[in-house]
């Protein structure tokens, strides 16, 4: 499978396709928060090496992508809005001296899920973190299975996902790839499937640990 799918740096001619994948991957996200072609073009200008795409070498089609920026993180103040963290999806707040990679987005086209493509993208992001000598990766994960458990508070739901008693289609994938939960972000974005919550997750670069 890894011979068929390769991770490349995103390029300008992919922008329209990347926006199509985004739309297919986030059907419940508010229209204003969806990335459009002009956003991908901006990402490639401000931080080209932080933008990854997965290419299906059999069809030469882009089937997945991730977008990142660099910034500094204050772990005592994690409450923020997604759109503020990513400068309204343009990533123009990217700080070339930032010590952390912030995950703006990861999206695998629905037809290509469950084949390890997010794993390829997480590996590429971790390689970039090591190469740049950053402290690690942070992101506001979308707990997209939360709407199926209205009987639970978000804290109870995340605890159960962490314990392995429940499987979340997003958070469980990230936990399995070495991410830790740092806290709940309230009113992170507008998506009813995750109750508008984000889960602040963090992957630490082992080369930067004492
Ligand atoms: C979350 C997401 C990126 C995962 O991508 P993916 O390429 O399917 O992930 P992988 O194949 O690497 O891993 C998926 C896991 O689910 C399992 N799985 C089994 N069947 C599956 C299926 N039909 N679809 C998806 N995953 C399946 C895989 O075996 C794997 O299990 P593991 O964690 O035990 O290894 C993808 O579902 C997605 O794009 N979702 C919509 C966008 C989104 O919510 N992004 C995250 C925003 S924070």
* Ligand 1 atom with least separation from CA of 139: 48
Predicted local confidence at residue 129, as pLDDT: 98
CATH no., domain 5-208: 3.40.630.30
Across the chain, which distance is largest between two alpha carbons, in Å? 46
Nearest one of 34, 42, 43 to 107, comparing CA atoms: 34
| Average confidence score pLDDT of the chain | 97
Instruction: Measure the CA–CA gap between 109 and 20, rounded to whole angstroms.
Output: 9
Whether 117 lines ligand 1, by a CB cut-off of 6 Å, is yes
Instruction: Measure the CA–CA gap between 158 and 143, rounded to whole angstroms.
Output: 8
In this prediction, the residues of the chain whose per-residue pLDDT falls under 70 are 1-2
Q: DSSP letters along 112-181, please? A: GTTSSHHHHHHHHHHHHHHHHT-SEEEEEE--TTGGG-TTS-HHHHHHHHHHTSS--TTHHHHHHTT-EE
Domain boundary assignment for the chain: 5-208
**b/e per residue, 166-187, with b = 16+ CB within 10 A?**
bebebbbbbbebebebeebbee
Q: How far is the CA of 61 from the centre of ligand 1 (A)?
A: 19
Predicted local confidence at residue 209, as pLDDT: 80
Nearest residue (by CA) to ligand 1, atom 27, is 114
Q: Model pTM?
A: 0.96
Instruction: Measure the CA–CA gap between 181 and 73, rounded to whole angstroms.
Output: 15
Nearest residue (by CA) to ligand 1, atom 10, is 116
């Amino acid at each position: 499978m890894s011979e068929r799918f390769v991770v490349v740096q995103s390029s300008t001619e992919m922008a329209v396709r990347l926006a199509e994948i985004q739309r297919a991957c986030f059907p419940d996200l508010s229209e204003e928060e969806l990335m459009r072609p002009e956003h991908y073009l901006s990402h490639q200008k401000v931080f080209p090496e932080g933008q990854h795409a997965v290419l299906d070498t059999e069809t030469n089609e882009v089937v997945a992508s991730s977008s990142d920026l660099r910034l500094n993180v204050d772990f005592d103040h994690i409450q923020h809005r997604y759109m503020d963290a990513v400068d309204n999806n343009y990533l123009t707040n990217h700080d070339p001296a930032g010590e952390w990679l912030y995950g703006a987005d990861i999206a695998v086209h629905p037809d290509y899920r469950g084949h390890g493509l997010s794993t390829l993208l997480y590996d590429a992001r971790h390689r970039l973190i090591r190469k740049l000598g950053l402290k690690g990766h942070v992101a506001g994960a979308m707990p997209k299975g939360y709407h199926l458990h209205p009987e639970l508070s978000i804290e109870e739901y995340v605890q159960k996902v962490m314990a392995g008693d429940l499987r979340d289609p997003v958070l469980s994938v990230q936990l399995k790839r070495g991410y830790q939960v740092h806290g709940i972000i309230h009113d992170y974005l507008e998506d009813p499937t995750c109750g508008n919550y984000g889960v602040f997750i963090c992957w630490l670069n082992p080369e930067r640990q004492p």
